[in-house]
Amino acid sequence: MERIEPLYIAKARSTFTNSITLGLGILLLVISVSDGAPGTAFIGMALTLYAWFTKHTRYVVFHDRLVIEYGKPRERSVPLDGIMRVQGIAIPMRGTNVLLVRDTGRGMLVRPENPDEFMARFTDALSGHGRPAKEEPRTPL
């Protein structure tokens, strides 16, 4: 079977709240091991799993889809023909993010380390997919 090479790979930017959630979950697990408290272990495991399965780790752009990778084994695949527009959004204290507006009208926020390069490469992939991509200027919230 032939392996399809990605057009672009971007690492996701880490968020403070996700790092705190993961750290708190691990801390509660360590405390529960020393105390033997099952309630603390349950809360620590729940926080750790939540942080692991909801944090974006990287974005892989193929010619026909965008794959958002979370903590292994979770991935989400979004077809490029379902994305109408790419928009940069400046969010205070969080930097610049990229909003992908789907044809259903719902948006999807991604946080690549280099948002400008991601938008340029993603727009190229969208326009190469047979649809002219609409790139809108960055708007502050």
Is the pLDDT confidence value at 3 over 60? yes
Average pLDDT over residues 110-138: 77
Is the pLDDT confidence value at 136 over 60? no
Using a cut of 0.85, tell me whether the model's pTM lies above it. no
Is the pLDDT confidence value at 137 over 60? no
Q: Which residue has the higher pLDDT, 92 or 93?
A: 92
Q: How confident is the model at residue 130 (pLDDT cuts 50, 70, 90)?
A: very low
Q: How confident is the model at residue 132 (pLDDT cuts 50, 70, 90)?
A: very low
Report the C-alpha gap between 135 and 43 in whole angstroms.
42
DSSP 3-state assignment of 71? coil
Report the C-alpha gap between 57 and 13 in whole angstroms.
8
Q: What is the pLDDT of residues 23-77, one digit of tens each?
A: 999 999 888 888 888 888 899 899 988 888 888 889 999 988 999 998 888 899 9
Phi/psi of residue 133, nearest 5 degrees = -85, 140
Q: What is the pLDDT of residues 99-118, one digit of tens each?
A: 999 988 888 999 999 999 99
